[in-house]
Amino acid sequence: YPGTLIVRKFFLILLFCFAVRENVCAFTLNLKGWDQISGKHFKVIFKREVGEDFPREILDKAEEYYSDIADRIGYERYRNFWTWDNRVPIVYFASQEEFTKQTGQPKWSKGFAVSHLASVNLRMIITYQGQEDFLNAVLPHEISHLILHDFIGPHRHIPTWFDEGVAQMEEQGDDPNHRTIFAHLIENGESIPLLSLQNPNPSIRTDATYGAIFYAESLYIVDFLVKTYGKESFINLCRNLRDGMDFEDALKNAYYPAIDSIATLQDKWIKYMMQYL
């Protein structure tokens, strides 16, 4: 098999840097004198020197992603929730240097979402100019986080793997070859047991390979649920989490009798992934 250890590790590290999101608890932004354009659910805040063309493109894509993601998880009845004074700001820095200085983010960070940290109504996406993958990857990823957290509620527990899996679903550029690589990881016993995903290892933040496996597996399990059992069952799963069920009860309620436990989900997902070998 041509996917040598080096090739596999390169893919996994790339995926990790691409998908990982840092939680930010407190920071202060100085946006005095910045320009702003507004849509129905978002407003893009940027320096005049950036120009309006790309911020306008960001705004259009954000509104498009909002509709797609909201529909996927059953958020439709809240479509007017992020409007007027509650529009979500997308802060677009002119450079990575300024972004890092004002937010304290690590240099590899491409952007992040803030949700329900300072207050129930605080939502914000922060990024910077010069990223080729922002519109097709970072932007939908962070909007997905915000919508999922809004729908399920700030005080409900969302397993990290499920949160990250949903956030990656809208990203563009999924390569079937990556699934084949991951199927070989499963075959070789190098994937993470689903029960362990429920309580992720702290090394997700320090071990790039472990972190990449975690993010890829999260995406592929959520993808399996949506593609195999359809939108309505997935919406019911999200609603059950919103209503306070723990993940396993929410899963059983939404997918019974096809899936009656986390162990059953793992077995069926593994069988599904083996088709890519």
Report pLDDT for 231.
Answer: 93
Report pLDDT for 27.
Answer: 67
Question: How high is the mean pLDDT of the chain?
Answer: 83
Tokens of 51: 């120009």
Rounded Cα gap, residues 203 and 200, in angstroms: 8
pLDDT digits (tens, 9 = 90+) for 108-138: 777 787 765 444 456 889 999 988 778 988 8
Closest CA to 13 of 128, 130, 181, 131: 181
Mean pLDDT of 46-56: 94
Q: In the beta sheet, which residues pair with residue 35?
A: 46
Does residue 55 have a cis bond before it (omega within 30 degrees)? Answer: no
- Does residue 18 register a pLDDT over 50? no
Tokens of 31: 């946006």
pLDDT digits (tens, 9 = 90+) for 266-276: 999 999 999 99
CA quadruple 104, 18, 205, 72: dihedral, nearest 10 = 100
- What is the greatest pairwise CA distance in the chain? 57
Its pTM stands at 0.84
Closest CA to 247 of 147, 157, 169, 163: 157
Mean pLDDT of 133-148: 88
3-state DSSP helix/strand/coil percent for the chain, to nearest 5? 60, 10, 35
Tokens of 111: 């952007």
List the Cα angle 28/168/259 in 5-degree steps.
Answer: 125
Report pLDDT for 203.
Answer: 62
24: amino acid identity, one letter: V
The residue with tokens 């999922």 is 148
Mean pLDDT of 147-176: 85
Taking residue 35's Cβ as centre, other Cβ atoms within 10 Å add up to 16
268: amino acid identity, one letter: K
Give 121's DSSP letter: T
Report pLDDT for 131.
Answer: 82
Tokens of 232: 């309505």
Alpha carbon distances (Å) from 60 to 56, 66, 99, 139, 231:
6, 10, 22, 11, 25
Report pLDDT for 211.
Answer: 77
- pLDDT-wise least confident of 17-21, 74-78, 190-194, 264-268: 17-21
Mode of pairing for the β-strands spanning 111-115 and 42-46: unpaired
Q: Is the dihedral of CA 47, 50, 55, 58 positive or negative?
A: negative
